Structure 1
Amino acid sequence: MTEFFDIVLAPPTVVFTVLLVLVVCYWVLAIVGLDLLETDTDLLGALGLRGIPSSVMISLFVAFTWFLCLAGYASLDELPWDGGPLDLLVVPGALAGGWLATRLLINPLRYVLPEPKVPSRDDFIGRMCVIRTGTVTAHFGQAEVHSEDGSSALVQVRKQDGDELVAGGTALIFEYDAEGEFFWVMPYDAALDPHRKGL
């Protein structure tokens, strides 16, 4: 056991040990319900690590790298001679092995852990909004809409001729105009909205 701690707390393995402790702390906080941010997936995608939540990928990579670094230095200690140049190969070998192991494990995990949904303006289509400007026309108007997580957003809205919408009134978002960057809305009874609790 003493040899184990000697390797775990000796450089450079101690760097991966610290990272592993941070990963464990992250998951403890996640389990108790703390809302934690995901890492930018563009960088992970460039490394070939895409398809499951970034927190899971980073955790797997750190765990595999730590284990391979630990096993590498433990094996060198068992040699009857000094590891010499082999010592210099453990860290890059552990990093490469950790990346490869994580990448191989991603494929089956993709079917178990869905990739986080990226928020989109299309998420507002089909939701009720509350008009916040004096009126809404075919060229002007703003409304407040609530997303599924309960957060609100002020969006640009437009209406067809003949529909009367005034401040405080409710409307249904039924289409997004990407070119004009606004939503088309129509009058809607708040009592019919299945998401009315979010308003």
Structure 2
Amino acid sequence: MGNFWDAVTAYPTAVFTVLLLVVLGYWLLALLGLVDFDSLGGDLELEVRGDIDGVDLGTVAGYVVAMGLNGVPFSIVVSLLVLVAWTISSFVGQWLMPLIPTWPLQLLVGTGVLILSTAVSILITARLIRPMRGLFVTHQAQANASLVGRTCRVMSLSVNERHGHAVVAQRGANLNIRVRADTPNALTKGSTAYILEYDEGTGRYLIRSED
């Protein structure tokens, strides 16, 4: 037991021990309701713009996706990374570090263990979170105004100021919408039309013939 405590409080495992204590503190505060549990959708589209303290967020997001660490809440990713790295480093520190004779050599080997533990923890965490992604998929309803400017296909026999139905092509299932148009017009079933605006009051889209 003494070797274990010496390992987790000595370099390099001490670095992960501090991070692990921070993670445990976060989850304790989360259980008490003092912090929010952040949630990222499984189908993560990281199109981050901007720059914080010289860090390109888009580049960081690209690395996160490339390493397979997306699709679950960031707090879970960090927690698993720290826990796995701490576990690897503590075992290596317990069995390998006592065999290193001199302090400078221990520092050199310890730095290597720190880097290796981090790299291996990324690989293991990526595999651990893979089956979790389905639990955190969020489906965001498409905003009505986002359809403005797109084309639709008329499904009703005619369209006037008070009646009309159309469909907007989507990936997967098409989106059925209620539409209206100024009369007279040449809109009939199968016609293609532009969506000009959305009326919040009536819940209908104003369309105009593509011709």
TM-score under structure 2 normalisation? 0.51
* Counterpart-to-counterpart distance in 2, 1:123 and 1:97: 45
Aligned to 1:186: 201
- Determine which of 114, 123, 133 is the counterpart of 2:136: 114
Pairwise CA RMSD of aligned residues?
Answer: 3.6
Correspondence for 2:6: 6
What is the identity, as a one-letter code, of the residue corresponding to 1:20?
L
| Contact kept? 2:16, 2:85, Cα under 8 Å | yes
User: What is the rounded CA distance, in whole Å, between the counterparts of 1:123 and 1:16 in structure 2?
Assistant: 47
Distance 1:82 1:48, change over 3 A: same
Query: Partner amino acid for 2:12?
Result: P
**Sequence identity of aligned pairs in percent?**
30
Change (3 A) 1:92 1:123: farther
Indicate the residue corresponding to 1:193 in structure 2. none
Q: Give the C-alpha shift of residue 185 in structure 1.
A: 0.9
Partner of 1:93: 116
Structure 1 gaps of 5+ residues are 126-160, 163-173, 189-199
**1:35 aligns to 2:36 (yes or no):** yes
Secondary structure at 1:51's aligned position in 2?
A: coil
Q: What residue identity is the alignment partner of 1:110?
A: R
User: What code does the residue aligned with 1:6 have?
Assistant: D
- Which letter does structure 1 place at the counterpart of 2:9? L
Find the aligned partners of 2:20 and 2:198 in 1 and give their Cα distance.
Answer: 46
Aligned to 1:45: 65
Report SS of the residue matched to 2:122.
Answer: helix
In the alignment of these two chains, the number of paired residues is 138
Q: Residue 186 of structure 1 aligns to a residue in which SS?
A: coil
- Bigger-Rg structure (1/2): 2
What SS class does the counterpart of residue 35 from structure 1 fall into? Answer: coil
Q: How far apart, in 1, do the equivalents of 2:198 and 2:8 lie?
A: 57
Q: Deviations over 1:105-128 (max 9, x none)?
A: 1222223x314x486762899xxx
Residue 18 of structure 2 corresponds to which residue in structure 1? Answer: 18
| Amino acid in structure 2 at the alignment position of 1:184 | D
Q: 1:105 to 1:184 in 2, by over 3 A?
A: same
> Is the 2:11–2:110 Cα contact (8 Å) retained in structure 1?
no
Question: Which residue is equivalent to 1:166?
Answer: none
Amino acid at match of 1:114: F
Structure 1 position 47, deviation (Å): 3.2
Q: Which runs of 5+ in 2 are unaligned?
A: 47-60, 147-160, 163-176, 179-194, 204-211
Q: How far 1:12 sits from its partner (Å)?
A: 2.4
Aligned equivalent of 2:156: none
1:14 CA displacement: 1.3
Q: 2 CA distance for matches of 1:50 and 1:121?
A: 22
